[in-house]
Structure 1
Amino acid sequence: MTPPFDALDWRKMSQEERDLGLNNGLAVAGSTDIIAGWDALSADMRKRYHAHLDLRYGPRERNRIDFLKAHDEGPTLLFIHGGYWQARAKETFALFAEGPLAYGINVTLIGYTLAPHAGLDEIVAEIHAGIDFLAQQLPALGGDGKRIVVSGWSAGGHLTSMALAHPFVRAGMAISGIYDLEPIRHSYLNAKLSLDEAASRRNSPMMFPGGPMKPLSLVVGAAELPLLRKQTADFACHRARYGLPVTYEEIAGANHFTIMNEIASPMGRITRLIRQLFERTAG
Structure 2
Amino acid sequence: MGLQYQAINRTELDKAYNNTQAIDNFPEVYANFQKRSQHTYSTLACTRDIFYHDKERTRLDFFDCGINGAPTLIFIHGGYWQNCTKEDFAFIAEGPIKNGVNVILVEYTLAPEASMTQIVGEIGIMLDFLRHNASRFKLSEGKVCLSGHSAGGHLTALHSWHPLISHAMPISALVDLRPISLCWLNDKLQLTELEIESFSPVQLTAGNVPTQVCVGGGELPELIEHSRLYYQHLLDSHIPAEYLAVEGKNHFSLLEQLSSDNGAVTQALLHLLSTE
TM score, norm. by length of structure 2: 0.96
Q: Where does the alignment leave 5 or more consecutive residues of structure 2 unmatched? A: none
Query: 1:109 aligned to 2:105?
Result: yes
The amino acid of 1:65's aligned partner reads: L
Equivalent residue number for residue 184 of structure 2: 188
Q: Where does the alignment leave 5 or more consecutive residues of structure 1 unmatched? A: none
8 Å contact kept, 2:159–2:207: no
Equivalences, count: 275
8 Å contact kept, 2:154–2:170: yes
Equivalent residue number for residue 152 of structure 2: 156
Three-state SS of the structure 2 residue aligned to 1:214 is coil
Equivalent residue number for residue 172 of structure 1: 168
Give the 5 Å matches for 1:118-129: 118-129=114-125
Deviation at 1:167, TM superposition (A): 0.7
8 Å contact kept, 1:148–1:171: yes
Equivalent residue number for residue 11 of structure 2: 16
Three-state SS of the structure 2 residue aligned to 1:79 is strand
Structure 1 residues 146, 217: CA separation in 2 closer, same or farther (over 3 Å shift)? closer
Deviation at 1:9, TM superposition (A): 2.0
Deviation at 1:249, TM superposition (A): 1.8
TM score, norm. by length of structure 1: 0.93
Q: In structure 2, what is the Cα distance between the partners aligned to 1:24 and 1:252?
A: 17
Q: In structure 2, what is the Cα distance between the partners aligned to 1:145 and 1:181?
A: 32
8 Å contact kept, 1:66–1:110: yes
Equivalent residue number for residue 26 of structure 2: 31
Structure 1 residues 160, 192: CA separation in 2 closer, same or farther (over 3 Å shift)? same
8 Å contact kept, 1:182–1:197: no
Equivalent residue number for residue 241 of structure 2: 246
Three-state SS of the structure 2 residue aligned to 1:144 is coil
Deviation at 1:219, TM superposition (A): 1.2
Deviation at 1:125, TM superposition (A): 1.2
Q: In structure 2, what is the Cα distance between the partners aligned to 1:145 and 1:135?
A: 10
CA deviations over 1:159-187 (Å, ceiling 9, x no partner): 11012011100111111110000000000
CA deviations over 1:202-236 (Å, ceiling 9, x no partner): 0001112x322111111111111111111111111
Q: In structure 1, what is the Cα distance between the partners aligned to 2:38 and 2:131?
A: 26
8 Å contact kept, 2:144–2:165: yes
Deviation at 1:140, TM superposition (A): 2.5
Structure 1 residues 188, 51: CA separation in 2 closer, same or farther (over 3 Å shift)? closer
Equivalent residue number for residue 130 of structure 1: 126
Q: 1:74 aligns with which of 63, 70, 75?
A: 70
Q: In structure 2, what is the Cα distance between the partners aligned to 1:195 and 1:185?
A: 6
Q: 1:85 aligns with which of 64, 81, 84?
A: 81
Q: 1:203 aligns with which of 199, 202, 221?
A: 199
Structure 1 residues 13, 272: CA separation in 2 closer, same or farther (over 3 Å shift)? same
Equivalent residue number for residue 216 of structure 1: 211
Deviation at 1:132, TM superposition (A): 1.6
Q: Over the residues paired in the alignment, what is the CA RMSD in angstroms? A: 1.4
Q: In structure 2, what is the Cα distance between the partners aligned to 1:190 and 1:140?
A: 38
Q: In structure 1, what is the Cα distance between the partners aligned to 2:148 and 2:25?
A: 22
The amino acid of 1:179's aligned partner reads: V
Q: In structure 2, what is the Cα distance between the partners aligned to 1:198 and 1:133?
A: 27
The amino acid of 2:152's aligned partner reads: G
Q: In structure 2, what is the Cα distance between the partners aligned to 1:144 and 1:240?
A: 27
Q: In structure 1, what is the Cα distance between the partners aligned to 2:46 and 2:5?
A: 46
Equivalent residue number for residue 99 of structure 1: 95
